C-alpha cells in the first residue's frame, strides 16, 4: 500500500569545513546560490514535489536556518513603508513552503545517524524523502518528484537518485550494483560507500535524493559503523533490497556539488545564466574572461 510522501529530512548538521572561514559564523546551508541560501533551493524542490513537512536535522548552532523560513513582521513592515511590495511577495513565499521542524543531532556520527535522529516523525511502513542540500539539482521536474513518481509504481519500495560519474570519481560517492534496468530505473542489488575504483560495482553514483521506507530505521538503530568509522546511510540501504525493494533512477537534470568550491561556483554561474535579470550581463562578463 503506497502512502503519499509528505515529509522530507534535510541532514544539515555538518561543520562545513570546506567553506571555512565563511562557515565559522554562517552555516554552510545559508550560503547563497544566486539570491537564495542553498537550503532554500532544497526546500523549494520538496515543496514543488508535494512535500509539506520539512525536518531539519541540525546542530544547535544553526537556529538561523529555521529563522530563515519564519515570517519576519519587522522586515515586512519596513518594506511596506518603502512601498516595496514586490519584495514583500518574495519573502512571503518562504513561510508558505511548509511546516518546519528541528531535530538536534548531538554529535556528527555520519549521515545514517543524522537520518535516524528523525525516526520519531515516522510510523511503521511510512515512506519519506531525504534531501542532501549540497547536491543542488537544476531540472524541469524537481528531482525528488521524479523519484516519487518511480516510488508510486512500487509497493512501498525505496528509490535513490543516481548519476553516472567518471570511474576515477566513484570513491567520492555511494555506488550501486544493479540487477535489471528498465526504461528509467534500475533494481538495485548492492550498494557500497566510497569504493576504490577497482572495487566499484558500477559508475552509478548515489546523488543526495532518497525516498526511503521507514523499515530502514530498524537497521540504523543498530548504530553499525562503516566507511570512515561513521554510521553510513548507504550501508542501511542494503536492508531494503529484499523487501520492500530498492530502486534507483538517473533523473533528468543537472547536479551541482555545492559541498566544494568549484561545484558551488559552477552552480552560481548556471543559476545566474538562467536568471532573467542578470543573464545577459553575466554572459558578457564570462566572455570577457
Ligand atoms: C553522501 C553519501 C554518499 C552519496 C553522497 C551524495 O556522501 O554518503 O553515498 O553519494 O552523499 O552527495 P558525502 O557527500 O556526505 O560524503
pLDDT tens-digit map of 216-235? 999 999 999 999 999 999 99
If one counts every other C-beta atom within 10 angstroms of the C-beta of residue 1, the result is 5
Which residue has a Cα nearest atom 15 of ligand 1?
Answer: 111
CA distances from residue 288 to 134, 183, 210, 272, 284 in whole angstroms, order as listed: 30, 43, 40, 16, 6
Greater confidence (148 vs 155) lies with 148
Span from the CA of 256 to the centroid of ligand 1 (angstroms)? 13
* CB-CB contact of 164 with 203 (8 Å): yes
pLDDT level of residue 52 (50, 70, 90 thresholds): very high
Q: What is the pTM of this model?
A: 0.95
What is the residue with the minimal CA distance to atom 10 of ligand 1? 173
Closest of 172, 205, 171, 165 to residue 188, by C-alpha: 205
Do 246 and 273 touch, CB atoms closer than 8 A?
A: no
Q: Is 80 exceeded by the pLDDT of residue 13?
A: yes
Report d(CA 259, CA 15) in Å as an integer: 11
Give the confidence band of 245 by pLDDT, cuts at 50, 70, 90: very high
Q: How far is the CA of 33 from the centre of ligand 1 (A)?
A: 20
> Does residue 159 contact residue 247 with C-beta atoms inside 8 Å?
yes
Q: For residues 150 and 144, give the distance between their C-alpha atoms in angstroms, rounded to a whole number.
A: 10
Phi-psi region of 176 (alpha: psi -120 to 50; beta: other; left: phi over 0): beta
Q: Are 225 and 122 in contact (CB under 8 A)?
A: no
Q: What is the mean pLDDT of the chain?
A: 94
* CA separation for the pair 127, 214 (Å, rounded): 6
Cα of 207 vs centre of ligand 1, distance in Å, is 7
Please give the Cα distance from 210 to 200 (Å, whole number).
21
132 C-alpha to ligand 1 centroid (Å): 8
When pLDDT is cut at 50, 70 and 90, the band that residue 118 belongs to is very high
CA–CA separation, 189 vs 187, rounded Å? 7
CB atoms closer than 10 angstroms to residue 219: 18
Show the cell assigned to 207: 546523488
Residues in the chain: 289
Domains delineated in the chain: 7-288 (3.90.550.10)
Pocket test of ligand 1: the residue of 131, 173, 258 to mutate, having most ligand atoms within 8 Å of its CB, is 173
Amino acid at each position: 500500500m503506497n502512502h503519499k510522501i509528505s515529509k522530507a529530512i534535510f541532514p544539515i548538521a555538518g561543520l562545513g569545513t570546506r567553506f571555512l572561514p565563511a562557515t565559522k559564523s554562517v552555516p554552510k546551508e545559508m550560503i547563497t546560490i544566486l539570491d537564495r541560501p542553498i537550503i532554500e533551493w532544497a526546500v523549494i524542490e520538496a515543496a514543488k514535489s508535494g512535500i509539506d513537512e520539512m525536518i531539519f536535522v541540525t546542530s544547535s548552532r544553526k537556529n538561523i536556518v529555521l529563522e530563515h523560513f519564519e515570517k519576519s513582521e519587522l522586515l515586512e513592515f519596513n518594506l511596506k513603508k518603502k512601498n516595496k511590495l514586490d519584495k514583500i511577495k518574495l519573502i512571503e513565499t518562504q513561510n508558505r513552503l511548509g511546516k518546519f521542524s528541528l531535530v538536534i543531532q548531538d554529535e556528527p556520527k555520519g549521515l545514517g545517524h543524522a537520518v535516524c535522529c528523525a525516526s520519531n516523525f515516522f510510523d511503521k511502513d511510512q515512506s519519506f524523502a531525504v534531501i542532501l542540500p549540497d547536491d543542488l539539482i537544476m531540472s524541469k521536474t524537481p528531482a525528488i518528484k521524479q523519484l516519487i513518481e518511480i516510488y508510486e509504481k512500487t509497493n512501498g519500495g525505496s528509490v535513490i537518485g543516481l548519476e553516472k560519474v567518471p570511474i576515477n570519481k566513484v570513491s567520492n560517492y555511494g555506488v550501486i550494483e544493479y540487477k535489471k534496468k528498465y526504461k528509467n530505473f534500475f533494481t538495485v542489488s548492492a550498494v557500497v560507500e566510497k569504493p576504490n575504483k577497482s572495487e566499484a560495482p558500477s559508475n552509478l553514483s548515489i546523488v543526495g535524493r532518497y525516498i526511503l521506507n521507514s523499515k530502514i530505521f530498524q537497521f540504523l538503530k543498530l548504530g553499525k559503523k562503516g566507511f570512515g568509522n561513521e554510521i553510513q546511510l548507504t550501508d542501511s540501504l542494503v536492508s531494503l533490497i529484499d523487501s520492500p525493494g530498492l530502486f534507483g533512477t538517473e533523473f533528468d537534470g543537472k547536479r551541482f556539488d555545492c559541498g566544494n568550491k568549484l561545484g558551488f561556483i559552477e552552480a552560481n554561474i548556471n543559476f545566474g545564466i538562467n536568471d532573467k535579470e542578470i543573464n545577459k550581463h553575466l554572459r558578457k562578463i564570462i566572455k570577457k574572461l
